[in-house]
Structures are given as structure tokens and as C-alpha cells.
Amino acid sequence: MSLILLHGFTGSADAWGDLLPRLGRRTRVLAIDLPGHAPAASPEPPPARIGLGDCGVSVRRHLDALAIGRAVLLGYSMGGRVALRFALDHPDRVAGLVLESTSPGIADLTERTARRNADEALADAIVRDGLARFVDRWMAQPLFATQANLPEAVRARERAMRLAHDPRALAACLRGAGPGTVPPMWDALPGLHMPVLLLAGALDARYRDIAAKTAARLPHGRVAIVPDAGHATHLENPAAFAAEVEAFLIELEGGKQ
């Protein structure tokens, strides 16, 4: 069985570095950079928008290149939206889903429009003001407040990862794959028949609620709450996070230890 790790917005494949030894004990693990998030390597400008479809193409290419027919997709936040969209579009390629702090989208049109407008303004600010100001603004959100408890070395490493991106590419991803732009996927959830594990942090009330509502619409979904963690459960409590994922993989394999 193969496990594909999909990072969140402003992350990269390096975001999973500490977890790879834990998650790779019983399965093949691959962490990939989603479009718009690899460190800038080309002087050519990125497209104006990078959507979930573009991210799905990248996931499929990685699977094909490694001759992986079906895989378990594990996505965090934006990476969870990518995983969910890919599972809806290519159910034959997905053996199971792990969705960490993930929303199927904003159902209310007024709220979605307001979020889209805010994301467009933020995308403009990324390019205009530079990455350093944007990263400070992004991480100052209440959603990430619990990460202040992380060791200084971990926070410095995460900041350096974010600062390595091309601001134009991040802006394109925010415009094309942000919650305000992506059509909500709530109504499609009953059509997903693979097992789905929804992870949320005990300190993240908003996404605990979203996880419960998502699971209620899935034929084979269940929720696991990660203690002593906020939005980035894999970062804030990696041991508990890895234990939940490993238990899920054991279930998929029919309970074989």
C-alpha cells in the first residue's frame, strides 16, 4: 500500500519530514510538492490561477510515474481539499482518505463570495508586499495560535519553508484553490465509498465541528480527535497523529499488524 502526503497552503513536501519515519514503518510513503509550492526554479511567471484540478493532475502524474494504481491520500487543510477532489474525480485511484483539518468547502454563497474577495486581496498583497510580510500576517491568524507553543526551532523551520516559495505562485494558488473559489463538495460526499478518516485537533473547535458534519455525510467516514493540538495536528502532536494514521492503515489492510 502507498500513502501520498499532500501539504497545506504555504507548505511543501518538507512539511512532513519528521513524520516520514513514523508513517513509513508499514507502508510506502511519498510526500509531494503541490503546484505553486515548489521553490522557485524558473524565471517564467506562473499561471494566473492554480486550481484543485491542476493539483489533481500533479497527483495523478506522480502516481503514474511510480506505477501506483491505487493509494491512500493524506491531505492537510488545502491538501485535504486536493485529496477530496481527486477522490471524487478518480475514485478508482484512491484506496482511502485521511483528511486533516479539511473542509469540503463553504456552502453559503454570501460567505463564499466574501472569502473569495478577501483571498483575491490577499493574493495581491503577497505579490505587492513580499513573502515575509505575508507569512507574518498568515501565521498571525487565530487558527494558528496554538503553534506558538511549538519549540522555537520548529517554528523557525516552518517559517523558512514558507519563505522559500515564489510569491507569484502562492498568489496564483490562493486565487485558484482558495476556499472562496472552490465549489463546495458537500453534496458529493455520499458518493465516496472508500474509507475516510477525518482528523481534527482537540483545540480547534471549528474544524472539530466540520469533521463531524463531513463524517455524517460519508458512507464510511469516522472522526478522530488529536489531543493537545490545534489546526496543524501533524505538527503539534506528531506521535498521536501518526498513531491514528497507522491504525487507519491497519484497518484498510484488514487488521493485519
User: What is the DSSP secondary-structure string of 36-69?
Assistant: T-SPP--SSPPPS---HHHHHHHHHHHHHHTT-S
Q: Residue 246 has which C-alpha cell?
A: 497507522
Residue at grid coordinates 510506502: 28
- Residue 35 main-chain phi, psi, to 5 deg: -55, 140
Q: Kindly give, in sequence order, each residue whose CB lies less than 8 Å from that of residue 242, ignoring residues fewer than 6 positions away.
A: 19, 22, 23
Residue-level pLDDT, tens digit, the chain, 257 residues: 899 999 999 999 999 988 988 887 778 999 999 999 976 556 678 889 999 999 999 999 999 999 999 999 999 999 999 999 999 999 999 999 999 999 999 999 999 999 999 999 999 999 999 999 999 999 999 999 999 999 999 999 999 999 999 999 999 999 999 999 999 999 999 999 999 999 999 999 999 999 999 999 999 999 999 999 999 999 999 999 999 999 999 999 886 55
Question: Cα(163)–Cα(246) distance, rounded to whole angstroms?
Answer: 31
Give the CATH class of 2-252: alpha beta
Provide the strand spans (E) within the chain. 2-6, 28-32, 71-76, 94-100, 196-201, 221-226
* Closest to 143 (Cα-Cα) out of 206, 198, 195, 94: 206
Enumerate the domain spans of the chain: 2-252
- The count of residues in the chain is 257
| All three cell numbers of 220 | 464510511
* pLDDT tens digit sequence for 15-43: 998 898 888 777 899 999 999 997 655 66
The answer to whether the pTM exceeds 0.75 is yes
160: Cβ–Cβ under 8 A, 6 or more apart, which residues? none
Distance in angstroms (rounded) separating the CA atoms of residues 221 and 189: 10
Q: Is 255 left (phi over 0), alpha (psi -120 to 50) or beta?
A: left
Residue partners of 141: CB distance under 8 A and separation at least 6: none
CA 43 to chain centre: 27
